[in-house]
Structure 1
Amino acid sequence: MSNLSEYVAAVTDDTKRQKLQELFDWLTSEFPQLQIKFGWGQPMFTDHGTFIIAFKHTKKHITVSPEVAGIQKFADKLDIVGYAHTENTFRITWEQEVHYELLREMIQFNIEDKANETKFWRKAPN
């Protein structure tokens, strides 16, 4: 994959494809400064060369990766809206609503928290 249009077009289910397209349309409109980089078969959104958030569509859900710090900071809110999560990702099932305000908070947190970061990933805590 080399762009979002190709990535979205690869989704064969019309409803899922539309939901994914709406998510990416929202994200690129809200955060036009973010660059898109493809890695590990998924679009990753970056700011000044550092990772901010990534999305991957699967048969059952959209996996969202905001790094461990993003999950830790927003775990309670993820629980409240009903998104299952692990240490590094959370899942939005195709049946669930996309909570754009929560996504906005997570992305904004990563942008601000990583403003002075020079590496792609956060430094591991000591």
Structure 2
Amino acid sequence: MKDFQMFLDSIREPDNRERMENILKYVKEKFRQLKEEIKWNQPMFSDHGTFIIGFSVAKGHIAVAPEAVVISLSKKEIEQAGYSHTKELFRIKWTDQVDFDLLHKLVNYNIENKKDMIKFWR
């Protein structure tokens, strides 16, 4: 998590920082093969040089970006979890429960679906 520490330190609200750290730790512990990266001032995970999932923070939420195809395929589950979404990301409000099962599914999908990809983005 040392690669992400500067990002985490930039989150002023301690509860929000802890929540973001827990999400990043979860992904790192469950998917040990993923590489931690900071790109565009955002923490993300990659696998063999291809993007898997990225995160950013805003005043009211954490934005989770697994790429548009994953949002499209998982739209119902994202909505059932109570999260709003756009074409490229979904939002976990600072007051929402984190649906780690959903997060696990999305990361796992990208790892499997992109196992033969050689580009960073789809």
Q: Contact (CA 8 Å) 2:28, 2:34: kept in 1 or not?
A: yes
C-alpha distance in 2 between matches for 1:37 and 1:24:
11
Partner of 2:99: 99
Partner of 1:58: 58
Q: What TM-score, normalized to structure 1?
A: 0.93
Task: Give runs of ≥4 in structure 1 deviating > 3 Å.
Answer: none
What secondary structure is seen at the aligned counterpart in 2 of 1:82? Answer: coil
AA paired with 1:110?
A: N
Q: Contact (CA 8 Å) 2:36, 2:45: kept in 1 or not?
A: yes
Q: Contact (CA 8 Å) 2:4, 2:38: kept in 1 or not?
A: no
AA paired with 2:76?
A: D
Deviation string 1:54-102 (CA, Å, 9 cap, x unpaired) is 0001111000100011101110000111110000110000000110000
AA paired with 2:18?
A: Q
Partner of 2:70: 70
* Number of aligned residue pairs: 121
C-alpha distance in 1 between matches for 2:36 and 2:14:
23
Partner of 1:44: 44
Identity of aligned residues (%): 36
Partner of 1:13: 13
Partner of 1:28: 28
Q: What TM-score, normalized to structure 2?
A: 0.96
**CA RMSD of superposed structures (Å):** 1.0
The Cα of 1:44 is off from its aligned counterpart by 1.4
What secondary structure is seen at the aligned counterpart in 2 of 1:3? Answer: helix
Deviation string 1:5-55 (CA, Å, 9 cap, x unpaired) is 111111110110111111111111011110012111101100000000000
